[in-house]
Structure 1
C-alpha cells in the first residue's frame, strides 16, 4: 500500500515544492506526495527553474493550504521550516512527524546569480534530505 506523505512549509512556494518534487521522484509508486503551507504564496518561478535543472518538472504544482488536507490520513508529515512546525494548526493524525529547517531561498538577496546560487544550495540540501528520507522510511 502506498504511503501518504505531506510536506509542509510556510507558503508552499519553494521548500515544500522542491521537497515534493524530489520525494515523488525518489519514492516512485511507493508513495503519494502532497505539499501545503500554513499560507499560500504561489509556486516560486525560481523553484520551478531550479527543479527543471534537476530534471524534475514542478511547473504544474499548485500552492495549497494545509486546511485542504485535514481529512487525509497521512503516514508521514515533513515540516521543512521552523515557522510551519511552530504554527501548523493541529489536525488529528497518527503520522510520524519529521522536521528539518531549511533556509528560505525566496529570501535570498544579491545579484541574480547570487540568488540563483542560494536556490541551488538549498535545493541540493533538500535533495539529500529527501533521498535519505526515502531510503530510510520507504
Structure 2
C-alpha cells in the first residue's frame, strides 16, 4: 500500500480520508466520472459538465494535487493537454477509505467485470499500428482470453517494432502482428473503439453500429528515447500503462481470469 496524502490519518480519525472529501464535491465527482471513461481535454470537460473553464481548471488542480488525475501534452497539438484519471490509484484510495470506515470493508473493491457469456468486439487505434495498438490488442487478448474479439489498426501503418515484441514477452505473450490500415476496418462493427494517440483520434472515422469510443492519450514510445538513444524503456512503460488501463475496462475480465493471472 502506497504512503501518500490519500491515506487515512489515524491521528484525526474523525476526518474523512482526502479521497472521500475530494469526490464528495459534486463537480469533482462529475469530472472524475468523465475521466473514468476517457482521457479528455479541458474544453471537453467544460462542455460535459456545463461549468466555466476557470472553475473546471480549479477542480482539476485539486485532483492533480492529490495525484489521482494526471495531464499530458497532446501529441496532435502541443498547446492542448489531455487529462487522465489514474484508476489504479483510485482503487487503492477507495479501498483505504473503506478500511478507514471499518476494517471489515478492506479488499471489497476492484475492477468491474463483464457479464458471463458476453463477447464484445474491441478495436485499438494508433498512428503506426506498430507499437501501442498491437501491444494493447495482445494484452487485452491475453487477459480476457476468449471473452472478447480484439483487433488493432493504424492511420499510417509501419512495421512492428522489436521493442513492442520484447515488451509483450515480459507478459508471457508472443507478439506476432501484421500492421493493418484503418481503412481496412472502418466498415466493420465493433462494440468499443479505443484510440491510443492524439493524432489518430482526430482522424477516427464513424464506425457502423455506433460503438462506444474512448481515448487514451499515450505518447509514441518510438519517439521517447533515453539518454543513450534507446526507445526500449519507453515501450516498457507504455506496456505497463496499457496493462493497467486494460485491467479497469468494465468488460474485460472475470474473477476467474484474474485468478488465473495472479
Fold conserved between structures, TM > 0.5: yes
Q: More relative contact order in 1 or in 2 (CA 8 Å, sep 6+)?
A: 1
Q: State the Cα distance separating 1:115 from its structure 2 match.
A: 2.6
Given that residues 163 and 231 in structure 2 are in contact (C-alpha distance below 8 angstroms), is that contact kept between their aligned partners in structure 1? Answer: no
Q: Does residue 121 of structure 2 align to residue 4 of structure 1?
A: yes
In structure 1, the partner of 2:165 is: 48
Q: Does residue 178 of structure 2 align to residue 62 of structure 1?
A: yes
Question: Aligned-residue CA RMSD in angstroms?
Answer: 1.5
SS of equivalent residue, structure 1 residue 137: coil
Given that residues 189 and 207 in structure 2 are in contact (C-alpha distance below 8 angstroms), is that contact kept between their aligned partners in structure 1? Answer: no
Distance 2:155 2:205 in 1: 8
User: Which of the pair has more CA radius of gyration?
Assistant: 2
Distance 2:191 2:219 in 1: 25
In structure 1, the partner of 2:221 is: 105
In structure 2, the partner of 1:122 is: 238
Distance 1:115 1:42 in 2: 15
- Structure 2 matches for 1:8-87, cutoff 5 A? 8-58=125-175, 60-87=176-203
Distance 1:76 1:93 in 2: 10
Aligned length: 134
Distance 1:90 1:3 in 2: 18
In structure 2, the partner of 1:137 is: 251
Q: TM-score with structure 1 length normalisation?
A: 0.89
> Unmatched 5+ residue regions in structure 2?
1-117, 253-262
SS of equivalent residue, structure 2 residue 210: coil
